[in-house]
Amino acid sequence: MGIDIWGVLDAAATKPYGFMRLQPGPGMGGHCLPVDPFYLSWRAREFDMTTEFIELAGRSTSRCPTTA
């Protein structure tokens, strides 16, 4: 896809308010779930790319109990 994730994070960090820099890592969490990671996975398939780690993280997260 040609996306420089570190460049995206650096650009987002220039926002003057409401930005908390988080580093990519295993698992998923946050307000954007489950939409964003699965959108990325869906979009990657259009580029014939696999996103096994996103799918695995999603399956793992979906098995966790919720506190809500």
Q: Which amino acid is at 31?
A: H
Q: What is the pLDDT along the chain (68 residues), one digit of tens a residue?
A: 788 988 988 888 888 777 777 666 655 555 555 567 778 888 889 999 888 888 888 787 777 776 55
Say whether 32 is catalytic: yes
Give the pLDDT confidence score for residue 34 in this predicted structure: 57
Contact 49, 1 (CB under 8 A): yes
Q: Note the pLDDT of residue 21.
A: 73
Note if the pTM is more than 0.75: no
Inter-residue contact 39 to 58 (CB < 8 Å) = no
Q: Tell me the one-letter amino acid at 56.
A: L
Instruction: Given the residues 13, 32, 33, 49, select the one marked as catalytic.
Output: 32
